[in-house]
Amino acid sequence: MKVNLGVGAYRTEEGKPLVLNVVRRAEQMLVNDSSRVKEYLPITGLADFNKMSAKLIFGNDSPAIQEKRVTTVQCLSGTGSLRVGAEFLARHYQQRTIYIPQPTWGNHPKVFALSGLFVKTYRYYDPATRGLNFQGLVEDLSSAPSGAVVLLHACAHNPTGVDPTVEQWEQIRQLMRSKALLPFFDSAYQGFASGNLDADAQPVRLFAADGGELLAAQSYAKNMGLYGERVGALSIVCKTADVAAKVESQLKLVIRPMYSSPPIHGASIVATILKDSEMYNEWTIELKAMADRIISMRHQLFEALRERGTPGDWTHIVKQIGMFTFTGLNTEQVAFMTKEYHIYMTSDGRISMAGLSSKTVPLLADAIHAAVTHAN
Amino acid sequence: MERRVGVLARHLSSHSPSMASGNPSEMISPFPTAGSFGESVFAHVVQAPEDPILGVTVAYNKDPSPVKVNLGVGAYRTEEGKPLVLNVVRRAEQLLVNDRSRVKEYLPITGLADFNKLSAKLIFGSDSPALQENRVTTVQCLSGTGSLRVGAEFLAKHYHQHTIYIPLPTWGNHPKVFTIAGLSVKTYRYYDPATRGLNFQGLLEDLRSAPLGAIVLLHACAHNPTGVDPTLEQWEQIRQLMRSKALLPFFDSAYQGFASGSLDADAQSVRMFAADGGELLAAQSYAKNMGLYGERVGALSIVCKSANVAAKVESQLKLVIRPMYSNPPIHGASIVATILKDSGMYQEWTIELKAMADRIINMRHQLFDALRARGTPGDWSHILKQIGMFTFTGLNTEQVAFMTKEYHIYMTSDGRISMAGLSSRTVPHLADAIHAAVTRIK
């Protein structure tokens, strides 16, 4: 019996990939509509998709949107949105340094470096508490040069699952605005983290509401299960509508020499769902079910470790949020678990809760127990 | 303070957008703040000009005239002037979407394996020795543009020569793709306005004087925008010259099957190079020949000297792709793979493809005949000789502007028209417009 806790893709209780019912429905509608064609999208992508994506992340009543201060362009999921945003900044923004949290998703530094930005880090994860090193974060952002770009995980930090509280977010916001640090949000788990789309967008909305500027990369890979369709959006909130329009025109000059225009299929599925209130509701229900299953796995694993009397404080398993748990296990312990218990996970101790099921929790708990009590 | 900041901002915006070279002692307020007061940090960003090719359709859409014709963008239109989704594509799509066992998991970074294998066979030929010897790496990319970009970024990182020679003229986006990827762009003579054909002498001279090892962009067939292709004999001469100077071929194959109606004929130039044991890059697009435009389906192949090198090259291609968009989109590639692997569907595709190519050739003949019927001055035989979606009419910018203004004909200012945008109904109107332009404007 082996368990794959490596990949960051949702799995059902049966350990299978999931295509949401509402996604299948939307896709059927699209493909059965013989009036639909496959013409090139505009460089900036599907207009409806862009409008609705902006509303999804910033809120329907966002003043920034109402004032037309936001440009949103369809990109290839989160990665593509980050890359297009970073290339735009490298070309048009005066500060070419981006601060990324320590640790962060393995691909982040490469995306930014290849775009032409210099990558520095800010303290984030505290191994002692398996929580946020808020003091370190504040110190590092305070000593960043004025105007530097700062990458922020909107929610469900990858790989740690450790998020600032709403109060901490407010402090981060004030600090960043006082130093003119430019926020670049990576929002890959909206709705997937807490089960609530609005709650998971709070940090982004906090910044968007203060009249300042920011970038936000959105992905529909996880929250709509559209992984391989590569659906995402980059939004840039600007001071004025005039600036937003000019910024959009320059974003096109980044996209056109990269791949000309984005793919229609996935974005059409998203637009179909977001614009239909009944499908939207169905989506929120299926989304919450995924989030709830993951939260349930967290509780099951925590309970299982408690039952086994596994030494150590494992509350971080239920405190961390989103798809991943940063167990705190070291590379030797991880290797042991793979060898003896066939548990597959990344060597930094990160496990994908989405890969767990009620059936496999006991095996994982046994493995963790053995690894932790096994002589180092 | 505000006024001084404004003056500074205007001063700086008239120079390079980057303030990184600014003299700190001149800075009144170092940077516009991203906070809730002060100017936008992007205040200096200038409005970019509209893409000249796509801008044509924008202008066309604004025109209320009932006789307007869009000959700008290179997308196929039916006799009724409508976009076309191939029957076989709709069928494949239905099969895929109705298959409830299908999921939407991430593809590998290099894309759909079947799609890659079948794409390589399509362009190099099923019996290509390079394929049989595993010397080819093929990675799924976002249509032609994406394939060119990934290939160019790979070359900028791993190839010793960073200069790429592109034909004059070429697709408007080519120089930008290569420049941003980190290559320097030079041109080689290609189109001869005097003959409206190939400037073969100039081409040979320019390639001969290129530095050893330079990269050379070659349009596999149906050169965009001119429609002028070398003959097979000329291709052979180009091949020999290039191999003698170790010039690295980078093919852009956007019209395989769409140019002549025959998939094999349109791949001859690429196969000629692949067959000589040498190395090359090839960017393939399914936008036109499968009508998959907006699905963004394409592939980059790199033919290497050995299987060992091909494997290493593939591993490095992943490092280009992953930080760009992680992995490619599944839908379009799945449609292509479904069609290519099923002999019945493949046959159906070749028939629909030939029908598109034939309609375009038919439009060429109709336009040529219409101009002849009007006694329009000049030699218009290039309309028949040029191949593929586009005709380089030879009309100048004034004549083009006149045709747009007086006849509501929309085309790019270089005189390029998309034959795919024509129909039996609109040919007479275009012929009238050309006739008027040529007789009234010199």
pLDDT interval class at B27 (50, 70, 90): very low
Residues of B with CB below 8 A from A40's CB? 73, 75, 287, 293-294
- Please, which contacts does B372-381 make with residues 24 or more away whose CB atoms are closer than 8 Å? B373/B431, B374/B431, B374/B432, B374/B435, B376/B431, B376/B434, B376/B435, B376/B438, B376/B439, B377/B438, B377/B439, B378/B438, B379/B196
Q: DSSP labels for B106-128?
A: PPPTT--HHHHHHHHHHHH-TT-
**pLDDT score of A69 more than 90:** yes
* pLDDT at res. B74: 83
Q: Which residue has the higher pLDDT, B31 or B156?
A: B156
pLDDT interval class at B51 (50, 70, 90): confident
pLDDT interval class at B126 (50, 70, 90): very high
What size, in residues, is chain A? Answer: 376
pLDDT interval class at A375 (50, 70, 90): low
Q: DSSP character for B178?
A: H
Would the CB atoms of B149 and A259 count as touching at under 8 Å? yes
Which residues are CB-neighbours of B233 under 8 A, at least 6 positions away?
none
pLDDT interval class at B19 (50, 70, 90): very low
Q: A355 CB near a chain B CB, below 8 Å?
A: no
- What does the mean pLDDT of chain B come to? 92
pLDDT interval class at A376 (50, 70, 90): low
Q: Is the ipTM of this complex over 0.90?
A: yes
Q: How far is B139 from chain A (nearest CA, A)?
A: 15
**pLDDT score of B15 more than 50:** no
What size, in residues, is chain B? Answer: 442
Percent of chain A with pLDDT over 90: 97
* Region A305-333 average pLDDT: 95
Q: A230 CB near a chain B CB, below 8 Å?
A: yes
Q: Which residue has the higher pLDDT, B146 or A1?
A: B146
Residues of A with CB below 8 A from B44's CB? 92
State which residue of chain A sits closest to B177, comparing Cα positions: A257
* Cβ within 8 Å of A, B 361-400: none
pLDDT interval class at B55 (50, 70, 90): confident
The burial class, CB within 10 Å (0-12 / 13-18 / 19+), for A65 is buried
Q: A200 CB near a chain B CB, below 8 Å?
A: no
**pLDDT score of B10 more than 60:** no
* Region A320-332 average pLDDT: 93
Residue B37: Cβ within 10 Å count: 9
Does the annotation mark B312 as catalytic?
Answer: no
* Cβ within 8 Å of B, A 125-144: none
Would the CB atoms of A260 and B180 count as touching at under 8 Å? no
Would the CB atoms of A243 and B43 count as touching at under 8 Å? yes
- From the candidates B68, B171, B235, B349, give the one annotated as an active-site residue: B171
Give the lowest-confidence range in A100-114, A330-344, B39-53, B239-253: B39-53
- Separation of alpha carbons A7 and B332, rounded Å: 24
Quick check: helix, strand or coil at residue A30? helix
**pLDDT score of B381 more than 90:** yes
Residues of B with CB below 8 A from A45's CB? none
pLDDT, tens digit, for every residue of A133-155? 999 999 999 999 999 999 999 99
Determine what percent of chain B falls in helix, strand and coil, rounding each to the nearest 5.
45, 10, 40
Residues of A with CB below 8 A from B107's CB? 228
Does the annotation mark A222 as catalytic?
Answer: yes
Would the CB atoms of B146 and A258 count as touching at under 8 Å? yes
β-strand pairing of B215-219 with B248-253:
parallel
Residues of A with CB below 8 A from B48's CB? 246, 249-250, 252-253
- In this structure, which amino acid lies at residue B357? A
β-strand pairing of B163-168 with B215-219:
parallel
Does the annotation mark B380 as catalytic?
Answer: no
* Cβ within 8 Å of B, A 263-282: 263-266
Would the CB atoms of B34 and A226 count as touching at under 8 Å? no
- Dihedral of alpha carbons B285, B288, B289, B295, sign: positive
Q: B145 CB near a chain A CB, below 8 Å?
A: yes
Q: B110 CB near a chain A CB, below 8 Å?
A: no
* pLDDT at res. A109: 98
Q: DSSP labels for A300-313?
A: HHHHHHHHTT-SS-
Percent of chain B with pLDDT over 90: 88
Tell which phi-psi region holds residue A142, choosing left (phi > 0), alpha (psi between -120 and 50) or beta: alpha
- Dihedral of alpha carbons B408, B412, B416, B421, sign: negative
Q: How far is B143 from chain A (nearest CA, A)?
A: 7
Would the CB atoms of B45 and A243 count as touching at under 8 Å? yes
* pLDDT at res. B37: 60
Residue A257: Cβ within 10 Å count: 21
Reading the block at residue B154, the tokens are: 């790979």
* Cβ within 8 Å of B, A 166-185: 177-178, 180-183
**Mutation test of the interface with chain B: which of A265, A270, A323, choosing the one with the most B Cβ atoms within 10 A?**
A265
**pLDDT score of B25 more than 60:** no
* Cβ within 8 Å of B, A 15-74: 17-19, 23-24, 27-28, 31-32, 34, 36-43
Rg of chain B over all Cα atoms, to the nearest angstrom: 24
pLDDT interval class at B309 (50, 70, 90): very high
**pLDDT score of A15 more than 50:** yes
- From the candidates A140, A163, A200, A222, give the one annotated as an active-site residue: A222
**pLDDT score of B17 more than 60:** no
